[in-house]
């Protein structure tokens, strides 16, 4: 399905969780000198204007990044992410929000590489424009990201972070996420994999974290942020999660500090809360 446009949701609470974690994972990878690759299965357009177009229509960013924009009491790790977003708005006005490719590129080093996939033709064209200045550091394809990562794993440097965040408009995406990870782990068992997913009442969404826990990895981490309670009619996204395979050992403690803060600052009602679990072999 090619109807989904992330611009409607740019900078919302789900982006805050996903991109905060992305920055933390890359910050951890940066601690070793050896270069790495960043793989993005559903890269989107790369950069979104918040003052016009799709993002301004529902202004979901007002319940996300805008609530953190002027805070001076941010936990250190969260402040690192907010500072990166401020770098795209040098005049101090929140007018642009980067998608995961540009968030990643700003957090990476010059010798690290990006491999990006986007199937939507319009977003793919915008992505090409937004990464054109990165030169050899970034390569993108208008392609199915699930199939794309299969072709490049394992990466030459044997270090990589893969972000998998399909729109889940088609319920088959839930099954494809699990299948893609099973295949990826056979090819590259030591890679770091981050899966974003919506928290919905539908059965497939509720079952996904349990399926991911069964994958053959040394460790996993589950982080979910709920900004409100589920609706009475059972529809709508009331939170989101990121499930990380082979996470950095320091990340659990970081999330134990940051998730309660986010739940309190981004809450829409008394149902706001967080979930944090870890496990593995």
What's the confidence (pLDDT) of residue 58?
79
What's the confidence (pLDDT) of residue 122?
87
Helix (H, G, I), strand (E, B) or coil at 274: strand
Q: In the chain, what are the domain boundaries? A: 6-279
How many angstroms from the chain centroid is the CA of residue 201? Answer: 21
Residue 40 annotated among the catalytic residues of the structure: no
For 72, counting Cβ atoms within 10 Å of its Cβ (0-12 exposed, 13-18 middle, 19+ buried), the class is exposed
Interval 108-143: pLDDT, tens: 999 999 999 999 888 888 888 888 888 889 999 999
Q: Name residue, tokens 């494809």.
A: 176
Q: Which parts of 137-250 fold into alpha helices (H)? A: 145-152, 172-187, 203-213
Interval 64-75: pLDDT, tens: 999 999 999 999
Helices 100-107 and 121-131: angle between axes, nearest 10 degrees: 20
Which of 165, 170, 233, 269 is labelled catalytic?
Answer: 165
What's the confidence (pLDDT) of residue 3?
46
pTM higher than 0.85: yes
Pick the CATH number of 6-279 from 3.20.20.80, 3.10.20.30, 3.40.50.150, 2.60.40.1930: 3.40.50.150
Residue 157 and residue 108 in contact, taking contact as beta carbons nearer than 8 Å: no
């Amino acid at each position: 399905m090619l109807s989904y446009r992330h611009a409607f949701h740019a900078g919302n609470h789900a982006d805050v969780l996903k991109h905060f974690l992305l920055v933390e994972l890359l910050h951890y990878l940066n601690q070793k000198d050896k270069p790495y690759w960043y793989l993005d299965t559903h890269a989107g357009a790369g950069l979104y204007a918040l003052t016009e177009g799709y993002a301004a229509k529902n202004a979901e960013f007002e319940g996300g990044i805008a609530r953190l924009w002027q805070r001076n009491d941010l936990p250190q790790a969260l402040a690192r992410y907010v500072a990166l977003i401020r770098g795209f708005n040098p005049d101090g006005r929140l007018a642009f929000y980067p998608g995961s490719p540009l968030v990643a590129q700003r957090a990476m080093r010059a010798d690290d590489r990006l491999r990006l996939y986007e199937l939507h033709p319009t977003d793919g064209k915008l992505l090409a424009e937004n990464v054109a200045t990165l030169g050899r550091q970034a390569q993108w394809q208008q392609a199915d990201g699930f199939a794309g990562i299969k072709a490049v794993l394992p990466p030459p440097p044997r270090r990589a972070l893969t972000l998998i965040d399909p729109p889940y408009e088609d319920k088959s995406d839930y099954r494809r996420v699990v299948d893609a990870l099973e295949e990826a782990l056979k090819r590259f068992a030591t890679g770091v994999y981050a899966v974003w997913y919506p928290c919905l009442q539908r059965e497939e969404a509720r079952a996904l974290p349990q399926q991911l826990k069964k994958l053959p990895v040394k460790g996993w981490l589950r982080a979910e942020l709920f900004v409100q309670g589920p609706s009475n009619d059972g529809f709508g996204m009331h939170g989101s999660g990121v499930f990380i395979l082979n996470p950095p050992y320091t990340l659990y403690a970081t999330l134990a500090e940051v998730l309660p803060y986010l739940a309190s600052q981004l809450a829409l009602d008394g149902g706001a809360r967080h979930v944090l679990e870890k496990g593995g072999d």
